[in-house]
């Protein structure tokens, strides 16, 4: 079973970092993992996405076309990817930034005003992590124990002071 995750939004929202975090959660649970960014003539503020695979078996294609998990942080990405999610899949939407409401009934869609929550809780720039918290609550793809262990590895030593803030953002997402 491979958890095929697609993360999408604008450059600068921490889409790639969120992917790295999820991949490390997988790695710390002894799973096979891969992380692949969209790379093109990208620019700051342009759209950005990232494929993450977490699997019990070696990963063939690291490219995710039909995700079973989608996190979107802007409307262009929502429009582009919402119909690619496989039936039964999970979608987490930052509803501060995406107005749309999904009318698909074969997938589980959750709306979290993550950007607004981040601003309210003095967690500016951590909307992405709040969404990871929500994903953790809904799919239980990993445990809080793994999250805490992996966080020290995900966050570079120079930014070690942000480990607690990231864990708090995850916990906030889990209350949504």
Interacting residues with another protein (CB under 8 A)? 20, 23-24, 27, 32-37, 39-41, 58-63, 65, 153
Nearer to another protein, 35 or 141 (CB): 35
Least Å distance, CB 163 to another protein, is: 17
Minimum separation from the CB atom of position 8 to another protein (A) = 17
- Compute CA 63 distance to the chain's CA centroid, rounded to the nearest angstrom: 16
**Burial class, 148, CB count within 10 angstroms (exposed 0-12 / middle 13-18 / buried 19+):** middle
CB of 124 to another protein, least distance (A): 26
Q: Which is nearer to another protein, 147 or 172 (CB)?
A: 147
Residue 115 beta carbon to another protein: minimum distance, rounded to whole angstroms: 26
How many CB atoms are closer than 10 A to CB 166?
23
Q: Give the CA distances from residue 35 to residues 7, 60, 130, 160, 166, in Å, rounded to whole numbers and listed in that order.
A: 11, 12, 20, 22, 20
CB of 114 or CB of 151, closer to another protein: 151
């Amino acid at each position: 079973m491979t958890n095929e995750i697609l993360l999408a939004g604008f450059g600068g929202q921490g889409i790639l970092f969120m992917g790295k975090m999820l991949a490390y959660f997988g790695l710390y649970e002894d799973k096979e993992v891969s992380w692949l960014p969209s790379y093109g003539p990208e620019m700051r503020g342009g759209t950005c996405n990232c494929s993450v695979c977490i699997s019990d078996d070696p990963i063939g294609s690291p490219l995710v076309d039909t995700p079973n998990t989608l996190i979107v942080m802007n409307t262009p990405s929502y429009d582009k990817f919402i119909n690619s999610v496989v039936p039964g899949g999970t979608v987490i939407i930052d509803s501060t930034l995406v107005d749309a409401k999904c009318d698909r009934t074969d997938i589980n869609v959750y709306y979290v005003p993550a950007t607004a929550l981040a601003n309210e809780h003095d967690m500016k720039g951590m909307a992405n992590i709040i969404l990871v918290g929500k994903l953790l609550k809904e799919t239980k793809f990993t445990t809080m124990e793994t999250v805490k262990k992996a966080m020290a590895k995900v966050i570079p030593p120079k930014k070690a002071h942000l480990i607690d803030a990231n864990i708090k953002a995850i916990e906030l997402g889990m209350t949504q």
